[in-house]
Amino acid sequence: MKVLACYSMKGGVGKTATAVNVAWMAANAGMKTLLIDLDPQGASSYYFKVKPAKKDWSERFFKAYEHLLEHIKHSEFDGLDVIPAHLGFRQFDVLLDALGKRKSRLDNILKGLKDEYELVILDCPPTIGNLAESIFNASDYILAPVIPTTLSERTFDQLNAFFEEHDYPKQKLVPFFSMVQAQKALHRHTMETLRARSDRFLYSAIPFTSDIEKMGEHQTPVMLFAPNGKGAKAFATLWVELQPLLREFED
């Protein structure tokens, strides 16, 4: 089982769009996939039409994987399950502090799912606290969307610095450009600079396109309502590029 986090400490960069489309493509390719929506805003749960639990169970989330099992919902797609977010998940940073072993908790919990799923995708909230550290430990790869603008470049540098300072393996970081507007000189220039500074950026980039924006309206992955659009094609290319990562270190 591989764990793939869609993560950035910045909001509105395309984490959820990536989590939803990659989860669908994985399931469509025959991988038994679980999407865990860790963001209390619950956007990926919404895209998959999965409702949050009535009762706040956030205090039980990190205690045993059996609690996760109770909250797994089937999506309308074969091989794709979802654990929807609850607003209570906003307390995860504080809860992890109180529970102790905050860095290894998520990793330990997810191990309980390894016979059920081939791929777990974490749709992460924009945070760099205890939850983020728990995510860095639990994930095989951290897919990090980077909008090619000055502030996003800075956020990416901060993430690299954080990994260095806290001894997280940098090879887990898989950055890619998101919401790219190639007609903008700033975007082109920032992509060039960042690619020259870091060879870890994926070749694939996701363009800024109204198809992807319309996912909210359709409440479904982009390839189901605009299969020939730029968004669907870009995510399909990203998916192909992720294949070797998902095959590496086979259990």
Ligand X SMILES: Nc1ncnc2c1ncn2[C@@H]1O[C@H](COP(=O)(O)OP(=O)(O)O)[C@@H](O)[C@H]1O
Footprint on this chain of ligand X (rule: CB under 6 A) = 11-17, 43, 178-179, 206, 208-209, 212-213, 215-216
Interface with Mg ion, residue 15, by CB under 5 A: yes
Q: Are 106 and 118 in contact (CB under 8 A)?
A: no
Shortest approach of ligand X to residue 63 CB, angstroms?
Answer: 27
Indicate the residue among 138 and 215 with the shorter CB distance to ligand X: 215
Shortest approach of ligand X to residue 44 CB, angstroms?
Answer: 8
Indicate the residue among 47 and 168 with the shorter CB distance to ligand X: 47
Enumerate the H helices of the chain as residue ranges. Answer: 15-28, 43-47, 58-61, 65-70, 92-99, 105-111, 130-138, 150-165, 185-197, 210-213, 215-218, 222-225, 230-247
State how far the alpha carbon of 220 is from the alpha carbons of 20, 39, 74, 235, 238, in Å.
Answer: 8, 18, 14, 14, 18
Indicate the residue among 118 and 206 with the shorter CB distance to Mg ion: 206
* Interatomic CA distance for residues 169 and 30, integer angstroms: 29
Shortest approach of Mg ion to residue 123 CB, angstroms?
Answer: 6
Residue 144 CB contacts under 8 Å (≥ 6 apart), including other chains: 7, 8, 156, 159, 173, 174, 175, 176
Quick one: which of 28, 81, 15, 12 has its CA closest to 227? 28
- From the list Mg ion, ligand X, none, pick the one residue 208 interacts with, judged by a Cβ distance below 5 to 8 Å according to partner type: ligand X
Q: Hey, what are 147's tokens?
A: 């909008």
Per-residue binding string, Mg ion, 28-67, x by CB under 5 A, is -----------x---x------------------------
- From the list ligand X, Mg ion, none, pick the one residue 130 interacts with, judged by a Cβ distance below 5 to 8 Å according to partner type: none
Shortest approach of ligand X to residue 167 CB, angstroms?
Answer: 26
Shortest approach of ligand X to residue 66 CB, angstroms?
Answer: 28
Q: Which of 8, 16, 127, 130 touches Mg ion (CB under 5 A)?
A: 16
* Interatomic CA distance for residues 117 and 226, integer angstroms: 28
Shortest approach of ligand X to residue 55 CB, angstroms?
Answer: 25
Interface with Mg ion, residue 127, by CB under 5 A: no
- From the list Mg ion, ligand X, none, pick the one residue 179 interacts with, judged by a Cβ distance below 5 to 8 Å according to partner type: ligand X
Q: Which residues in this chain contact Mg ion in the complex, by CB under 5 A?
A: 15-16, 39, 43
